[in-house]
Amino acid sequence: MSEELRVAVDRRNSGAVLYTKGYINNVGGEEIANRAYELMDGGARTLLLNLRETKIVNSIGISILIEIIEKMIDQGGKIAFCCLTPVIHKTFQIMGLANYATIYPDEETAVKELDLQP
């Protein structure tokens, strides 16, 4: 069975908002990483991942997200998340992701604080 993740990118002034839809597993994590690294190579230093349409994640997918965060921190940038379900938020906290990335309750707040207005 296939649970393909889709990623839509909305470029903003200093970065981008990435909208995920589907299961963040190893394949989904790599898809996000590919899009994030393309954006970072293009100069983006602030990325917001909106997980509104992602209802399930696994530990392998989250480990890839942590790798993306580490790479972005190394380049002097930052990655944030918004619109997490309670269980995904809890899983991020268990794995320590919340220590390295800010988690916002909604996109409006995140965009304002990260200066990612359209």
Beta strands in 3-118 (DSSP E): 6-11, 15-21, 46-53, 78-82, 102-104
Which contacts qualify for 105-111: CB closer than 8 Å, 24 or more apart?
106/82, 107/17, 107/48, 107/50, 107/52, 107/82, 107/83, 109/82, 110/48, 110/50, 110/80, 110/82, 111/12, 111/17, 111/48
The binding site for other proteins (CB under 8 A) comprises 1-3, 23, 25, 27, 55-60, 62-63, 66-67, 85-87, 90-91, 94-96, 99
Cβ 115 to other proteins shortest distance, Å: 28
For other proteins, the closer of residues 2 and 117 by Cβ is 2
Cβ 30 to other proteins shortest distance, Å: 13
Cβ 59 to other proteins shortest distance, Å: 4
For other proteins, the closer of residues 86 and 118 by Cβ is 86
Cβ 31 to other proteins shortest distance, Å: 14
